[in-house]
């Protein structure tokens, strides 16, 4: 027996296969055939078509899985709807116990789930065993806690309702847990569609739900392909749609759900930067790259796929990286000693390879380790491209494979510019040993998750989600819970009807020649400007008497206003304290002119002197409210690991478009603009088209209150016309709309272009005069996006 | 370690002879090799924490790797109650670390494993040298005021010469930790260079006392200075500090060795010491060496493990491989 001696010579690792017989037995006991899980039963409806599920590493078929129809989706929806009343009315404590039981069951079956996930997806058993499944259990534990605390911590909110959830194939069970755990904690019920490549752990999870005593119908699975997913999205009944997947499909979902009033969260693609500064721990950063792009074969939405290296160290860093790449092991996912398994399917392999070939054709330098990967399955070697310029397809497109593209930068500013030179904004990894450099970059990158000197760290207590076209909504943490809650509805909400169109541009009212002509202009970049169109519209009072005229804004006015708003960047960089002072000053100045504003309201709307005064007083109070919040609506510091703090920062969106309703023309304007600017946003706001004068007067108050030019920009005109321009503007990050239902639909539909965040009223009136404190906080919540910065430490 | 002694019998028999590498030649202190380097602890800990979860060896591979580990052990006794007989017992075990039946089962009867070296205090060197005659196993001696290193320089150098004169072919010196803590790199460089000179043909293993140095950046810088001063091996610990060899510290040191090799072309050995008791730890450190430096660095001329009780656990694990039964320590001859 010379084997030992041979091994002594080579010091090879040898095979280290994970036992898979338990999972194989489970396949066999199910006759390798898996249906849906609806209303607490596994079903295979008559006439169901099926699709084959393969083991990506071998290409062998594992099972047949039912392909759900729209009818199956509806059956599941009805089951979830039926279960909703019972589940949502349970006490938080009761729900908590079930979630806790699920977490325990996941732990008890952890190896089974890890092996199953590896077989189904092709990812290494090391990852499913050490990362995916522990995070799944962690997610249910964490949300068992939120369930228990829901009544006290989310007072004023209730369960969003029945949720349709569509999840991807890259982290099948983990993405399930990110969606299902908060939904169940909030009291929602769920219809989930797993990805057709990887449906099996969701089936196993359904079994776990049964064991854990989850009531029938609270969690349902409908398997199927993209059409099944579309059936969920298009189904009328769901109150909430949650999707993780490609930006293209996300865009489609945004359009399909526009105006329906369904809550929506989208976690989409990314092209996340991995920035290495010259003072970084280079060996540490090399290992970070391994975790960034060769984790899960690079099939990670937040993969650090764009390597940005400071010029002076680039060659050394590339050398180190290549040395490290030689040591990676690609092979059987069930082998415990491999780094990368198989891509999920041949079609993904083709897609990755096609992009790589294009990159080669473009002239980028490709480097792969000297060894080759198996032809069987869908194995792809770790691949490095250097000298990739930002215009290259490799730098722009999400490859979703083990392909890293590298480029150099000269200065920290340039690093941030390159990092932000993308439509996406999911994650960023920043490597520097200097805290100043690292934090400066962390604050400056447009990304929902930033890892300093680390990468691809996840925890249930830290929110995850993107900026820009990487989607909106957060998963995990307190912020993630809001995706499955909605404010308890004000009982008196009315339906806002569309107002009559403004009449012809030529004035023909009874304007008194004795009064000086006073035409409300626009307010852009701190200056009063005339409309680009050269047209004005009449403003009538409640009796139909012409009282003034107002400029008619068009798309160019909006364009100019957005540019002015971008020019006022300094506002976002000011401290909350500084912004608060400006707001207090505003309140003071409005107070001084209270009578004048009240008179104007009366003249415009016919409101009684008493109610007009009340509106002005409420406006002053509202400004003070948000001045008070300006330095207090702060984020959270969490400790997801013992040597790690994660900071959840409430960052302003940047430029926010605001469309105001006709009701309470001053107060609604104030109630929407103030929280937005208190948080550091700059706004382009369109006041009520029929009662525009109060807001127009207000620019004089802005001018006298040290509000920097460009922070508030006011354009009058047709609400929906201008809202459409704002919603379609790719440099506007967020749109708020309060008006008739059609406009809400329009804004949501058009926002799909750059997947901006939206907040609309679906034609329902809002309480302006006496909002609850929860209502007022909703404005702040919608004025910010949460950036989570992970900061490890250790001397 | 010099070549003649670094290759143990079974390796020679297996043709498992590492490329002969040139001995490190001391160089002037060049601060540019370490000054800009700062080690991120949490990143090092994450890498160290996943080394043994990303790699593993099973069955015959595990057995072979454990045999490899035996060949890398510096079987050590460094206690106040060491006696000549105690050292002779240790040396007997060093010659014959694995029971014959186990060796036969592994197919290594014609070239049975031996440990990498025996490591003792200077006054024990003559006993060890006598007990190991004709074994090919080198004797290593600690020196220079071990474990604190805080005795006068001439005495520390005299201690090295004493051990060398009595037949030690490897000297495990300790550095003045204060030089590192104070950033006095020139003093550290000078000290180690003098010690290297005193070693002559004997190989110098520089013990950093990493538990005292605390930060990984200190560990990295001290490693680099010691190598520049002529160390043949860099070693973590005396075994007497509060914290001994850890994987993050070891990772930092082997990365320094890699950097030094790239800068100078000299291959420097690495020796973790202190607290290594379990066979699986030996495997983890071998994985570290293979992953960060390469297979060449898993052999005794470039890798040693300072340990005393580790061997027993390895014997038990090898017996388990051979018999399928869990073993007991008393079934294996003690040292």
SS (H, E, C) A235-257: CCCCCEEEEECCHHHHHHHHHHH
Asked, for residue B95, whether it belongs to a domain, the answer is yes
Put simply, the answer to whether B64 touches A279 (Cβ < 8 Å) is no
Put simply, the answer to whether A13 touches B291 (Cβ < 8 Å) is no
> Which chain A residues are closer than 8 Å to B54 by Cβ?
126, 337, 339
Put simply, the answer to whether B54 touches A281 (Cβ < 8 Å) is no
The CATH number of whichever domain residue B170 belongs to comes to 3.20.20.70
Is B106 part of the contact surface with chain A (CB cutoff 8 Å)? yes
Domain that holds residue B65: 3-15+40-331
**Residue A89 pLDDT > 70, yes or no?**
yes
Put simply, the answer to whether B106 touches A1 (Cβ < 8 Å) is yes
- Give the domains, in start order, of chain A with CATH numbers: 21-268 (3.40.605.10), 272-465 (3.40.309.10), 559-633+653-786 (3.40.605.10)
Put simply, the answer to whether B60 touches A7 (Cβ < 8 Å) is yes
SS3 A593: coil
Mean pLDDT of A53-63: 98
Res. A501 pLDDT band, cuts 50 70 90: low
Res. B10 pLDDT band, cuts 50 70 90: very low
Q: How far is CA A44 from CA A24, A37, A72, A73, A264, in A?
A: 21, 9, 10, 13, 29
CA-atom Rg of chain A in angstroms? 28
Is A337 part of the contact surface with chain B (CB cutoff 8 Å)? yes
Is A795 part of the contact surface with chain B (CB cutoff 8 Å)? yes
> Which chain B residues are closer than 8 Å to A453 by Cβ?
40, 42-43
Task: Name which of A15, A130, A643 is nearest B42 (Cβ-Cβ).
Answer: A643
The first and second tokens of residue B141, run together, are 């001696």
Q: How far is CA A530 from CA A683, A697, B190, in A?
A: 19, 15, 79
Asked, for residue B164, whether it belongs to a domain, the answer is yes
Q: What is the rounded distance in angstroms from the CA atom of residue A782 to the CA atom of residue A757?
A: 9
Task: Name which of B53, B255, B298 is nearest A11 (Cβ-Cβ).
Answer: B298
Mutation target to probe the B interface, by most B beta carbons within 10 A, among A6, A7, A8 is A8
Task: Name which of B39, B50, B56 is nearest A281 (Cβ-Cβ).
Answer: B39
Q: How many structural domains compose chain B?
A: 1
**pLDDT value of residue A505:** 46
Q: What is the rounded distance in angstroms from the CA atom of residue A698 to the CA atom of residue A692?
A: 10
Asked, for residue B29, whether it belongs to a domain, the answer is no
Res. A491 pLDDT band, cuts 50 70 90: low
Is A339 part of the contact surface with chain B (CB cutoff 8 Å)? yes
**pLDDT value of residue A773:** 86
Put simply, the answer to whether A5 touches B68 (Cβ < 8 Å) is no
**Residue A1 pLDDT > 90, yes or no?**
no
**Residue B1 pLDDT > 70, yes or no?**
no
In this predicted model, what pLDDT tens digit does every residue of A673-724 receive, in sequence order?
A: 999 999 999 999 999 999 999 998 999 999 999 999 999 999 999 999 999 9
Q: What is the rounded distance in angstroms from the CA atom of residue A30 to the CA atom of residue A108?
A: 21
Largest CA distance in chain A: 115
Mean pLDDT of B9-19: 42
Res. A2 pLDDT band, cuts 50 70 90: low
Element (H, E) at A471: strand A471-472
Q: What residues have CB less than 8 Å from A127, skipping those under 6 apart?
A: A118, A295, A296
**Residue A507 pLDDT > 70, yes or no?**
no
**pLDDT value of residue A515:** 52
**How many CA atoms lie less than 13 Å away from A322 in the CB half-sphere?**
15
**Residue B5 pLDDT > 50, yes or no?**
no
The first and second tokens of residue B179, run together, are 């030089």
Q: What is the rounded distance in angstroms from the CA atom of residue A14 to the CA atom of residue B81?
A: 43
**pLDDT value of residue A488:** 86
pLDDT, mean over chain B: 94
Asked, for residue B33, whether it belongs to a domain, the answer is no
Q: Distance from CA of residue B260 to its chain's centroid?
A: 18
Cβ density class B261-297: b for 16+ within 10 Å, e for less: beebebbbbbbbbbbbeebebbbbbbbbbbbbbbebb
Asked, for residue B22, whether it belongs to a domain, the answer is no
Is B196 part of the contact surface with chain A (CB cutoff 8 Å)? no
**Residue A512 pLDDT > 70, yes or no?**
no
Mean pLDDT of A232-237: 98
**Residue A504 pLDDT > 50, yes or no?**
no
- Exposed/middle/buried for residue A329 (C-beta within 10 Å: 0-12, 13-18, 19+): middle
The answer to whether the CB of A613 falls within 8 A of the CB of A599 is no
The answer to whether the CB of A114 falls within 8 A of the CB of A125 is yes
Return residues 262-281 of A near B (CB < 8 Å): 279-281
pTM: 0.96
Alpha carbon of B295: minimum distance to chain A alpha carbons (Å)? 7
Res. B96 pLDDT band, cuts 50 70 90: very high
Asked, for residue B26, whether it belongs to a domain, the answer is no
The answer to whether the CB of A292 falls within 8 A of the CB of A397 is no
Put simply, the answer to whether B40 touches A433 (Cβ < 8 Å) is yes
In this predicted model, what pLDDT tens digit does every residue of B248-296 receive, in sequence order?
A: 999 999 999 999 999 999 999 999 999 999 999 999 999 999 999 999 9
Task: Name which of A284, A291, A337 is nearest B40 (Cβ-Cβ).
Answer: A284
Q: Which residue has the tokens 């083990």?
A: A402
| Active centre residues of B (catalytic) | 172, 235, 271
In this predicted model, what pLDDT tens digit does every residue of A251-304 receive, in sequence order?
A: 999 999 999 999 999 999 999 999 999 999 999 999 999 999 999 999 999 999
In this predicted model, what pLDDT tens digit does every residue of A335-363 receive, in sequence order?
A: 999 999 999 999 999 999 999 999 999 99
Mutation target to probe the A interface, by most A beta carbons within 10 A, among B9, B32, B64, B69 is B64
**pLDDT value of residue A433:** 97
Put simply, the answer to whether A453 touches B215 (Cβ < 8 Å) is no
Q: What is the rounded distance in angstroms from the CA atom of residue A81 to the CA atom of residue A73?
A: 12
**Residue B19 pLDDT > 60, yes or no?**
no
Mean pLDDT of A410-432: 98
Res. B213 pLDDT band, cuts 50 70 90: very high
> What are the beta bridge partners of residue A472?
A266
Q: What is the rounded distance in angstroms from the CA atom of residue A209 to the CA atom of residue A106?
A: 10
Alpha carbon of B157: minimum distance to chain A alpha carbons (Å)? 34
Put simply, the answer to whether B40 touches A793 (Cβ < 8 Å) is no
Q: What is the rounded distance in angstroms from the CA atom of residue A494 to the CA atom of residue A644?
A: 48
Asked, for residue B34, whether it belongs to a domain, the answer is no
Q: What residues have CB less than 8 Å from A434, skipping those under 6 apart?
A: A277, A279
Q: What is the rounded distance in angstroms from the CA atom of residue A401 to the CA atom of residue A356?
A: 10
Task: Name which of A16, A794, A795 is nearest B57 (Cβ-Cβ).
Answer: A16
* Chain B residue with Cα closest to A321: B292
Put simply, the answer to whether B295 touches A10 (Cβ < 8 Å) is yes
**Residue A510 pLDDT > 70, yes or no?**
no
The first and second tokens of residue A774, run together, are 């929860």
Put simply, the answer to whether B53 touches A9 (Cβ < 8 Å) is no
**pLDDT value of residue A273:** 98
Put simply, the answer to whether A15 touches B46 (Cβ < 8 Å) is no
**pLDDT value of residue A259:** 97
Q: Which residue has the tokens 């490899």?
A: B68
Alpha carbon of B137: minimum distance to chain A alpha carbons (Å)? 19
Return residues 584-643 of A near B (CB < 8 Å): 643
Asked, for residue B30, whether it belongs to a domain, the answer is no
**pLDDT value of residue A748:** 98
A660 annotated active-site: no
Is B309 part of the contact surface with chain A (CB cutoff 8 Å)? no
> Which chain B residues are closer than 8 Å to A288 by Cβ?
43
Is B44 part of the contact surface with chain A (CB cutoff 8 Å)? yes
Is B255 part of the contact surface with chain A (CB cutoff 8 Å)? yes
* Chain B residue with Cα closest to A16: B58
Res. A202 pLDDT band, cuts 50 70 90: very high
Terminal alpha carbon distance of chain A: 50
Task: Name which of B42, B54, B295 is nearest A337 (Cβ-Cβ).
Answer: B54
């Amino acid at each position: 027996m010379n084997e030992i001696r041979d091994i002594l010579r080579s010091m090879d690792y040898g095979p280290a296969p994970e036992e898979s017989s338990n999972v194989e037995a489970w396949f066999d006991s199910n006759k390798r055939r898996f249906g849906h899980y609806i209303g607490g039963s596994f079903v295979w409806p008559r006439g169901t078509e099926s699709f084959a599920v393969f083991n990506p590493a071998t290409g062998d078929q594992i099972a047949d899985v039912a392909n759900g129809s729209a009818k199956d989706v509806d059956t599941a929806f009805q089951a979830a709807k039926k279960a909703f009343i019972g589940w949502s009315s349970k006490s938080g404590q009761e729900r908590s116990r079930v979630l806790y039981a699920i977490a325990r069951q996941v732990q008890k079956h952890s190896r089974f789930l890890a092996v199953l996930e590896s077989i189904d997806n092709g990812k290494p058993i090391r990852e499913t065993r050490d990362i995916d499944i522990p995070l799944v259990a962690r997610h249910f534990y964490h949300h068992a806690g939120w369930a228990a605390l829901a009544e006290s911590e989310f007072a004023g909110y209730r369960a969003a309702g029945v949720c349709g959830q569509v999840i991807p194939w890259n982290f099948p069970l983990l993405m399930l847990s990110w969606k299902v755990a908060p939904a169940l904690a909030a009291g929602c019920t769920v219809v989930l569609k797993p990805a057709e490549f990887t449906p099996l752990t969701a089936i196993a999870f359904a079994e776990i739900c049964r064991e854990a005593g989850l009531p029938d119908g609270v969690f349902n699975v409908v398997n199927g392909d993209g059409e099944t997913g579309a059936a969920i999205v298009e189904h009328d009944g769901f109150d909430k749609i949650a999707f993780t997947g490609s930006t293209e499909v996300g865009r489609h979902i945004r359009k399909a759900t526009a105006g329906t009033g369904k809550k929506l969260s989208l976690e989409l693609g990314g092209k996340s930067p991995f920035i290495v500064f010259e003072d970084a721990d280079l060996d540490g950063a090399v290992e970070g790259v391994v975790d960034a792009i060769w984790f899960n074969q690079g099939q990670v939405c937040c993969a650090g796929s764009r390597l940005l290296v400071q010029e002076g160290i680039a060659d050394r860093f590339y050398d180190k990286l290549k040395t490290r790449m030689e040591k990676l092991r690609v092979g059987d996912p069930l082998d415990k000693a491999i780094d990368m398994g198989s891509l999920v399917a041949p079609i993904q392999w083709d897609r990755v390879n096609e992009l790589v070939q294009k990159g080669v054709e473009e002239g980028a330098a490709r480097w792969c380790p000297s060894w080759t990967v198996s032809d069987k399955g869908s194995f792809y070697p770790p691949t490095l491209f250097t000298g990739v310029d930002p215009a290259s397809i490799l730098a722009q497109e999400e490859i979703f494979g083990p392909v890293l593209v590298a480029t150099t930068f000269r200065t920290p500013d340039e690093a941030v510019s390159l990092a932000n030179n993308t439509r996406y904004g999911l994650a960023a990894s920043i490597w520097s040993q200097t805290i100043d450099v690292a934090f400066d970059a962390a604050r400056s990158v447009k990304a929902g998750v930033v890892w300093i000197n680390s990468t691809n760290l996840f925890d249930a207590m830290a929110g995850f989600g993107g900026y820009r076209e990487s989607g909106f909504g957060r998963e995990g943490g307190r912020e993630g819970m809001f995706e499955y809650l909605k404010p308890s509805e004000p009982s008196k909400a009315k339906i806002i009807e569309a107002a009559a169109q403004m009449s012809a541009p030529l004035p023909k009212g009874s304007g008194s020649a004795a009064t000086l002509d006073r035409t409300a202009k626009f307010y852009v970049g701190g200056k009063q400007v005339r409309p680009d169109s050269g047209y004005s519209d009449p403003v009538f009072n409640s009796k139909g008497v012409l009282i003034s005229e107002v400029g008619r804004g068009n798309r160019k006015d909006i364009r100019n206003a957005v540019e002015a708003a971008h020019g006022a960047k300094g506002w976002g960089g000011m401290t909350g304290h500084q912004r608060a002072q400006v707001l207090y000053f505003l309140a003071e100045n409005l107070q001084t002119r209270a009578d004048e504003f009240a008179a104007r309201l009366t003249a415009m709307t016919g409101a009684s002197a008493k109610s007009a005064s009340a509106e002005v007083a409420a406006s002053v109070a509202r400004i003070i409210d948000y001045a008070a919040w300006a330095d207090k609506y702060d984020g959270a510091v969490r400790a997801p690991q013992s040597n790690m703090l994660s900071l959840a920062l409430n960052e302003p969106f940047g430029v926010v478009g605001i469309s105001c309703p006709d009701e309470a023309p001053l107060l609604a304007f104030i109630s929407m603009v103030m929280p937005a600017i208190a948080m550091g946003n700059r706004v382009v706001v369109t006041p009520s088209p029929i009662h525009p004068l109060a807001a127009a007067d207000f620019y004089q108050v802005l001018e006298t209150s040290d509000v920097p030019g460009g922070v508030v920009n006011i354009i009058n005109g047709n609400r929906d016309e201008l809202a459409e321009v704002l919603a379609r503007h790719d440099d506007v990050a967020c749109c708020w709309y309060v008006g008739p239902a059609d406009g809400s639909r329009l804004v949501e539909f058009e926002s799909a272009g750059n997947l901006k965040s939206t907040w609309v009223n679906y034609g329902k009136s809002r309480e302006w005069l006496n909002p609850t404190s929860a209502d007022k906080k909703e404005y702040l919540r919608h004025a910010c996006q949460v950036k989570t910065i992970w900061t490890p430490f250790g001397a | 370690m010099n070549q003649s002694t670094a290759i143990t019998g079974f390796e020679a028999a297996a043709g498992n002879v590492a490329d002969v590498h040139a001995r490190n030649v001391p160089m002037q202190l060049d601060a540019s090799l370490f000054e800009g380097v700062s080690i991120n602890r949490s990143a090092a800990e994450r890498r160290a924490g996943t080394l043994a979860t990303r790699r593993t060896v099973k069955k015959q591979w595990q057995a072979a790797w454990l045999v490899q580990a035996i060949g890398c052990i510096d079987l050590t006794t460094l206690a106040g109650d060491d006696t000549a007989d105690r050292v002779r017992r240790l040396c007997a075990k060093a010659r014959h670390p694995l029971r014959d039946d186990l060796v036969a089962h592994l197919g290594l009867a014609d070239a049975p494993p031996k440990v990498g070296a025996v490591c003792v205090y200077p006054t024990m060197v003559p006993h060890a040298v006598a007990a190991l005659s004709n074994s090919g196993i080198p004797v290593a001696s600690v020196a220079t005021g071990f474990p604190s290193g805080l005795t006068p320089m001439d005495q520390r150098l005299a201690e090295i010469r004493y051990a060398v004169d009595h037949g030690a072919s490897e000297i495990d010196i300790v550095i003045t930790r204060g030089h590192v803590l104070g950033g006095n790199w020139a003093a550290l460089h000078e000290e180690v260079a003098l010690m290297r000179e005193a070693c002559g043909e004997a190989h110098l293993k520089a013990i950093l006392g990493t538990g005292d140095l605390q930060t990984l950046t200190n560990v990295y810088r001290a490693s680099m200075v010691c190598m520049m001063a002529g160390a043949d091996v860099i070693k973590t610990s005396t075994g007497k500090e509060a914290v001994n060899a850890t994987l993050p510290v070891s990772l930092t040191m082997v990365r320094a060795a890699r950097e030094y090799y790239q800068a100078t072309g000299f291959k420097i050995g690495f020796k973790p010491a202190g607290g290594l008791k379990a066979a699986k730890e030996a495997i983890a450190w071998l994985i570290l060496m293979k992953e960060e430096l390469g297979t060449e660095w898993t052999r005794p001329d470039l890798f040693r493990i300072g340990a005393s009780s580790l061997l027993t656990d390895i014997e038990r694990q090898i017996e388990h491989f051979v018999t399928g039964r869990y073993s007991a320590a008393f079934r294996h001859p003690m040292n």
